[in-house]
Amino acid sequence: MIFKIYYQETKVRNPKREDTLSLYVEADSLPAARVLVEKNTEHNIEFIEQLSDKALEYEQENPNFKMTTF
């Protein structure tokens, strides 16, 4: 399954919507995706979304789409 992770780059500053970034990871479940990101980054995770096939197709149309591997 592919998950879209919405995050802030640091846990030190207060989250601001304008600074929210996203990355895409493949994991077996939502908790596994969270653990994967928390273990490998210092990001402040805001939200994790499991992408449906249609949503993934839409996201892949973005030229900046890139799967993150750790």
DSSP run (H or E) holding 40: helix 30-40
Sequence spans of domains, the chain: 2-60
Q: Which tens digit of pLDDT belongs to each residue from 48-70? A: 999 999 999 999 999 989 999 98
Q: Could you tell me the pTM of the whole model?
A: 0.89
Which pLDDT belongs to residue 37? Answer: 96
Closest alpha carbon to 70 in 25, 14, 7: 25
Which pLDDT belongs to residue 12? Answer: 86
Which pLDDT belongs to residue 45? Answer: 95
Which pLDDT belongs to residue 15? Answer: 84
Output the CATH code of domain 2-60: 3.10.20.730
Q: Which tens digit of pLDDT belongs to each residue from 10-24? A: 888 888 888 899 999
